[in-house]
Amino acid sequence: MGIPVPEIHITDLTTFCTCKRKWDFSSQLRQGRQPSFPPEPLLLGQGVHTALDHGYRNSVDSGHPMLFDFIAAKDRYEQWLRNREANIIKHTGPLWDAEKDMLQEVRTLGLGMLKHYALWSVTVDYRYTLLSTEQLCSIPLPTVEMGNSWSPDLDYVGRFDGIVRNIYNGNFYVLEFKTTKSLTRMSGTFRGMQPTAYVWAAGQHYGVPMRGVLYRCLRKRVPDNPTPLKTAGHFSRAKSQQLTGEWFLYYITAWAKAQGVSLADVLAINEPVVSMLKSKENEFFLEQPIARNDSQIKECIDALIYEGTQMADPRTPAYPLSGIHCGWCAFKEPCDLMSEGMDPQFLLDSEYASRDYWEQDDD
């Protein structure tokens, strides 16, 4: 059996370029660690991703436009969280009350986001057919001359959330889901190397050119419920409400049924609210196609080769590159110990687990 070829992941490369010490802690090429109790944003993002995958599985090669199955997504999300909670307890022991509260908040928020997504997705899904979900690919990188030697054998490895084809123009896209605290924060992701690497790798894997990456961004928030006014059946049309037309209709349908009144009548008297929501920019979801050209792809491949060569070299030092990112780094505490000249091994063994450990219950 030959020596395994080092695998280069684009998120790993980004971490490598940001801080070598964080990369050494987290990379599968080095220590491959993750916090034993994942931070709330990571836990929520992972859970929503796996739920979205299951919600679309019945659409793969169906011959029809993609259609999100909320029940399948809900069942998967709840099961995934139960599995993750069991693994956390197995690794760290009984949960603190604050940790139990956090898990419940993640459960409630995630299910609310998925329900809202199910309502919104029908307004965009009709444009696409779905070819695959959660597709893993491994593409050999070219070897290039580097000084007096050649770059080592390296594989670019990535996982696509999906591959879709636009029904109207025939273009293929890599589908990528992102959960975010604010949709306005996504510009950095759109400018980064991830979409470039995905376009190149997916084209190599499937043998067809990819037009770009189709990002579906989900804000980590559930909408406000409509505000009732003193006049029976009337609801506020204030633009300050964090609300969408889809959520308003969902809420009003349940409200009319509970009140035993006609939904058509309620919608008629609240037409100004419906019109206001239609005129508002969506604050919860964003679909953004990102295209890449040949020049950008060449630069990305160069980065994968040259940075990947350093990543694969066990002699590459793992020094810290401090900056604004330190404020939310998952490895701040062991990094601080190392900076003080102390050994962080006990903290790493007690507070961090192998990344493979957390992937055991992920399909």
The pLDDT assigned to 45 comes to: 96
pLDDT tens for each residue of 155-186: 999 999 999 999 999 999 999 999 999 999 89
The pLDDT assigned to 1 comes to: 53
Computed over every residue of the chain, the mean pLDDT equals: 94
Q: Average pLDDT for residues 123-134, to the nearest whole number?
A: 97
Q: Average pLDDT for residues 27-40, to the nearest whole number?
A: 93
Q: Average pLDDT for residues 3-30, to the nearest whole number?
A: 96
Q: Binning pLDDT at 50, 70 and 90, where does residue 66 land?
A: very high
pLDDT tens for each residue of 187-216: 999 999 999 999 999 999 999 999 999 999
The pLDDT assigned to 320 comes to: 96
351 torsion bin: left (phi>0), alpha (psi -120 to 50), beta (else)? alpha
Choice among 35-44, 68-77, 170-179, 282-291 with the minimum mean pLDDT: 35-44
pLDDT of 360 > 70? The answer is no
pLDDT of 359 > 70? The answer is no
Q: Binning pLDDT at 50, 70 and 90, where does residue 358 land?
A: low
Q: Binning pLDDT at 50, 70 and 90, where does residue 72 land?
A: very high
